[in-house]
Structure 1
Amino acid sequence: MHALIVISHPRKDSFTHALATEVAQGVADAGQTHTVEIADLAAEGFNPSFSAQDHAYLKGEAELPADVIAEQERLERADAVVLVYPIYWWSFPALLKGWIDRVFTLDWAYGSGNDGKPVKRLGRFRFHLVGVGDSDIRTYARHGYWGAMKTQIDHGIFDYCGATVVTSEVLPTSEPGFPAGHLETARRIGRKLFASP
């Protein structure tokens, strides 16, 4: 089985990268013949800007950009996808959101049926979301941020496309046991990535 870990953070020494490393180690701990590919969007220089060509593709007036095709092919090779990212303003960072904006395209991630209703095309995908936040979990709950994020991200993006969100974690850096507890959580996610339900 093959895991794709997508990282959205500009610094290699970030806690986000440390969590991604632990997820990868967890996959390795699970043994067998599992493989891991890491997509470091910042290091790879992925352009998150929805361009005129992206828009023209959406309107059926241009070909899909080559960098988007490459990302879709990378996703197609994966049996599980883990997104590891810092939480900026109660959502994805712009780089990761732009990756989704550009890569989750019409006719690949979703479509339109003859009846005009949306067609979900990513039913084969299993996503694991690991967000790193500074506020404690009580703040997320008190202000409704956790529910808003689940609505916007888990439901609004992934469910709309038919993908299954298996794990949806917020790991606040202000929580007791930081960082060891969160690193263990990340490793556990990796170990269970391909475990039977």
Structure 2
Amino acid sequence: MHALIVVSHPLENSLTSSLAKAVAQGIYEENAQNSAEIAMLSQEGFNPVFNADDMAAFLQTAPVPEDVAAEQKRLDKADALVLVFPVYWWSMPGLLKGWIDRVFTNGWAYEDNANGKVIKKLGRLPVHLVGLGGSDMKTFKKHGYEASWNTQLSHGIFDYCGAPVLSNTVLMLPDFGSAQACLQQAVKIGVGIFSRQQ
């Protein structure tokens, strides 16, 4: 089984990046035959800006841009998608949102048909979300951020495309007490990536 782990953080040596590596470690620990590719969006220079070429692809008057096609090819080879990112303003960073905006295209991730119904095309791609936050879960829940998080990400993005969200974890650093404890939890998440699909 192969996982694509997509990371959105400007620093290669960040705790977020280390979490992605820990998730990959867990994937290998679960089964030595598993594989994982870590896509570091910042370091790879992915352009998150939805542009005129993306709009033409959305309208299906032109093919998707080459960089989008390359990302879709990565996803086509994956048995699971894992998104690892810091929590910015109670959501995902703009870079990751832009990656979704551009890559999850009409015709590939979903399709609007003539009678107004959406055809969900990513039912084969389980998704796992791993956010890293600087607050605590009590605050996250108290103000309704947890509910809006689930609505926006799990339902609004992935359910729209039919991609099942099998795990949705926000690691709040103050609750764990140390970066090491968060990394240990990330390994456990990795171990569960493919065991949840069996």
- Whether TM-score is above 0.5 comes out as yes
Please identify which structure carries the higher helix content: 2
CA root-mean-square deviation: 1.2
More displaced stretch, 9-18 vs 28-37? 28-37
Deviation, 1:13, is 1.6
The two structures have a TM-score, normalised by structure 2, of 0.96
Give the structure 2 partner of residue 10 of structure 1: 10
Q: CA deviation at 1:173?
A: 1.5
Matched, 1:60 2:60: yes
Q: Partner amino acid for 1:180?
A: Q
**Counterpart position of 2:19:** 19
Match of 1:174, SS state, is: helix
> Which amino acid in the other structure matches residue 36 of structure 1?
A
Q: Give the letter for the 2:132 counterpart.
A: V
Write the deviation string for residues 101-131 of structure 1: whole angstroms up to 9, x where unpaired.
0000001011123421111111001010000
Consecutive aligned runs of 4 or more in structure 1 exceeding 4 Å deviation: none
Count of equivalent residues = 197
Q: In the aligned structure 1, how far is the partner of 2:169 from the partner of 2:194? A: 18
Correspondence for 1:124: 124
Give CA deviations for 1:26-85 in whole Å, capped at 9, x if unaligned.
111123311111110000000000011101221233221000000000001000111000
Q: Tell me, yes or no, if the aligned pair for 2:176 and 2:182 is still in contact at 8 Å.
A: no
Structure 1 residues 113 and 63: CA distance shift in structure 2, 3 A:
closer
CA separation in 2, counterparts of 1:99 and 1:176?
29
TM-score in terms of structure 1 length: 0.96
Q: Distance in 2 between matches of 1:114 and 1:24?
A: 41
What secondary structure does 1:159 align onto? helix
Unpaired runs of 5+ residues, structure 2, are none
Q: Whole-Å Cα distance in 1 between the matches of residues 178 and 81 of structure 2?
A: 25
